[in-house]
Chain A
Amino acid sequence: MNLILVAVIVLGVVGLVSALVLFLASKKFAVWEDPRIKQVSDVLPQANCGGCGYPGCSGFASACVKAAEGGSLSDLNCAPGGQAVMEQVAGILGLKASAAAPKVAVVRCQGTCDVRPHGVEFDGVHSCKIQNMTGMGETQCLYGCLGEGDCAAACLFGAITVNPATRIAEVDESKCTGCGACAKSCPRGIIELVPQGPKNRKVVVLCNNKDKGALATKECKVSCIGCGKCVKVCDKFEAITLGTNLAHIDPDKCKMCRKCEEACPRGAIKAFNFPPRKPKAEAAPVVSPASPKVEETVAKASASPIVEKKVETQKESETAV
């Protein structure tokens, strides 16, 4: 009886002393953290995508609170959260959110297998970065989509996938948050972030080919050859500029008239999410992604060893080392 009592008393005293030490230590060594960081962090999407340029959502929250001391949140934007989240953040910090146009990723390449033939087969690791290091890749175009899916692996929202039939990355606009992870992962810089546009409408040059016209024509049937016809039809708004043999549309100046889409002899300019044109304009040389030829190859490619191999490599990289 006595033994039990002694044990209880000893343990009780040790417990009390330890509790006291811990209590005092927690007071003495307490680190004060701005409670707003936690509040801000709680309203963020917790995707930790890094699209804001900070290491994860907590890093962004600290940056917001720090910026609030300066009185402005203008340089900070949470792409996946969008305007709604930024307004909440601004509310917590007692500021007004600046209006940031939501963006969406666009893959600037339409070089599907039928317009840009694959002359050789890449037998190495299925990674765009590694294939890009070997030079041209499987096609004749040094600028086009390699189709190994580095962007798909980088996307945390499942918004970008490589279509096995066309071997081109495709963006699901409903899922894309505009964080830009895919754009950073693309070794050829094909993916561009463009403003979502009214009713999701936008007009984009879907090509990244900077070769001279004659060469670009040989490389791909839907390449931009830098002919400048689009620049001419856009003389009123001056939204289109010609870089190194490559046209680019400034989304801020674009009035969505779609004249350039009609004018492009190569079908390299594409208007997204517009209603169908009136019958007479339908003859415009727009390359429809769902041509019957493509569908044919879907069935073939989905059973091809290339696709299977990719799944294998992923599995094994999880288990190895």
Chain B
Amino acid sequence: MKTFRIGGVHPAENKLSAGSPIREAALPKQAIFSMFQHIGAPAKPVVKKGDVVKVGTLLGEAVGFVSAPIYSSVSGKVSKVDVALDASDTRRMAVYVDVEGDEWEESIDRTPDLVRMEDRPDLDAQAIIEKIKQAGIVGMGGATFPCHVKLCPPPGQKAECVIINAVECEPYLTSDHSLMLEKTDEILVGVSLIMKAVNVNRAYIGIENNKPDAIRLMQEKAKAYPQIEIVPLKVQYPQGGEKQLIDAVIGRQVPAPPAIPISVGAVVQNVGTAFAIYEAVMKNKPLISRIITVTGKSVKTPSNLLARLGTPFSQLIDECGGLPADTGKIIGGGPMMGKALISLDIPMTKGSSGLLIMNDKEARRAAPEPCIRCAKCVSACPMGLEPYLLAKISSQYMWEEAEKEDIVSCIECGSCAFTCPSHRPLLDNIRLGKSTVMGIIRERAAKK
């Protein structure tokens, strides 16, 4: 079975909510829409206090090319435009909406009927990309990179194939898995739309083989789409990383930055993004909701919820049986790359793929011991870096050396810290080094 070549680890899968059907979460009383739901320039609020909005009303417009608009996922009145705590654990500009009823913009097609490619022969690549841009779709795997940017390759580079990331290599998370089981046809239409947008006739959907039911179902339905191939993959973290997935599926390695996936002819999109693209293009529905896995060993009913963006996390937890008494840490995202949250009032955003509740015992990090030079981190690093060295030079603020050792190639997957028998906080230090070195590089570029 295929997988990527270098490094990787295999953490306990703990897919507690696997197989549980998608459940629609109740509407919140107040929804908070952060203007920072994507990588790039934050959206600019276009509503003011007192404005009446419907589901699908534009709240914030995109500023520049690498940006995405934000739409209201509820109907009601804008109560204020102010800073709010968001999933980055800082306060940033947001729009607060007090929910009243559930009124939708009329342009949105809410019927459940499947719209196939044949039903819309009028769509060309430009129209599809424009629609995606208008709908505010970003990478739904968690990176939240504006989707339309990836579909517009830089001049001189041409896509050869589309790779759909349905790997879901993070332990605990099952949102993509449940989506594949319930929205198979929609996903396949979405993939066809992406293929048309970048003008290729080959697509691969990479699925790890710990989801045999999804692989079987997708393979069966994909028979009607001869251009789409389902690729079962060996379970290995971080296979969902863009570069790792390209290596695993088509066996090509993306060179070091500034090379990007398109340099080897691949356009990678998440399976959740493919579904969002289907809804945006065929149903005229902007990105206003997503599937989020609420899980944890102490959670009463680990579930996959279809929740509106802007719903506070506290409400999602209540939907799954309330906050367990022994909660030690709440993580937005998966256990490997997620971020611990400092408050439950934080609203969910376009990138919220999971909410993991760890009990007090699991939440504690073990005390670090001295490095025993076993080099396990080196063999685990999927980017072929030397994590022990990067962590050391970062902790001593040796930025020039860190740059020479290619610290900016780190994808922050955490395999090194996971595998370290001495529990050394490798990633904490590497992340500091990476962000500092990237700042230095940006500064240097600005001077030139």
Contacts and interface: CB of A to CB of B under 8 A. Distances in A.
Nearest to A187: B432
A135 B429 contact: no
Interface stretch (B48-56, B140-148, B315-323, B363-371): B363-371
A313 interface: yes
B89 A320 contact: no
Contacts of B435: 133
Given A125-B429, A127-B432, A136-B90, A313 B368 contact: yes
Main secondary structure of the interface of A (DSSP, over half): loop
Nearest to A309: B367
Interface in B341-372: 342-343, 363-365, 367-371
A313 B365 CA distance: 14
Nearest to A131: B428
B56 to A, nearest CB: 31
Interface string A306-321: 0001001100110111
A136 B342 contact: yes
B90 A129 contact: no
Interface in A162-193: none
A142 B91 contact: yes
B204 to A, nearest CB: 36
Nearest to B339: A134
B177 interface: no
B90 A317 contact: no
B89 A124 contact: no
Interface in A97-142: 119-120, 123-125, 127, 129-130, 133-136, 142
Nearest to A124: B428
Interface in A199-228: 211, 215
Interface in A246-272: none
Interface of B: 83, 85, 88-91, 329, 339-340, 342-343, 363-365, 367-371, 373, 388-389, 392, 395, 424-425, 428-429, 431-432, 435
Given A130-B428, A136-B90, A142-B91, A317 B395 contact: yes
**Interface range, A side:** 20 to 34
Given A130-B429, A136-B89, A136-B90, A320 B342 contact: no
B429 A119 contact: no
Nearest to B388: A321
28 contacts: A120-B340, A120-B342, A123-B329, A123-B363, A123-B364, A124-B365, A124-B425, A124-B428, A127-B395, A127-B428, A127-B432, A129-B432, A133-B431, A134-B89, A135-B88, A135-B342, A136-B85, A136-B91, A142-B90, A211-B83, A215-B91, A309-B367, A312-B367, A312-B368, A313-B368, A316-B368, A320-B392, A321-B388
Nearest to B329: A123
A142 B367 CA distance: 27
A321 B389 contact: yes
B424 A320 contact: yes
Contacts of B364: 123
Contacts of B83: 211, 215
Contacts of B329: 123
B92 to A, nearest CB: 10
A125 B370 contact: no
Contacts of B428: 124-125, 127, 130
Contacts of B91: 136, 142, 211, 215
Contacts of B373: 321
A165 to B, nearest CB: 23
Given A142-B90, A316-B368, A125 B389 contact: no
**Among the interface residues A127, A312, A319, A321, which one has the most CB atoms of the partner chain B within 10 A?**
A321
Contacts of A129: 432
Interface string A142-156: 100000000000000
Contacts of A319: 370
Nearest to A135: B89
Contacts of B425: 124-125
